[in-house]
Amino acid sequence: MMRTIYENYRGFKVSKQEDRYNANAISNEIKFSQWKLSDVLDSIDHFIELNCSSEIQSVLPQN
């Protein structure tokens, strides 16, 4: 049985299925699966931080 934990956590739907937590990106095919909820949330946060910093760097003027 799958149970939704977060409908939209930073763009990911987080659910629990049996003994694993899964996070599926709402807008694309990115998925994370961990044993602990805190680990899957940390994976999402790390992914967002990496992508946001690379997007910011791409729009900043280069000197």
Q: Tell me the two tokens of residue 27.
A: 């807008």
Instruction: Give the helix/strand (H/E) hosting 47.
Output: helix 37-59
Q: Tell me the two tokens of residue 11.
A: 């763009």
Q: Assess contact for 5 and 14: CB atoms under 8 A.
A: yes
Instruction: Tell which wins on pLDDT, 55 or 13.
Output: 13
E strands, 1-63, are 2-9, 12-17, 20-25, 31-34
pLDDT digits (tens, 9 = 90+) for 26-49: 988 999 999 999 999 999 999 999
pTM to 2 decimal places:
0.79
How many domains does the chain contain in total?
A: 1
Host domain of residue 48: 2-59
Q: Output the CA torsion sign for 52, 53, 54, 57.
A: positive
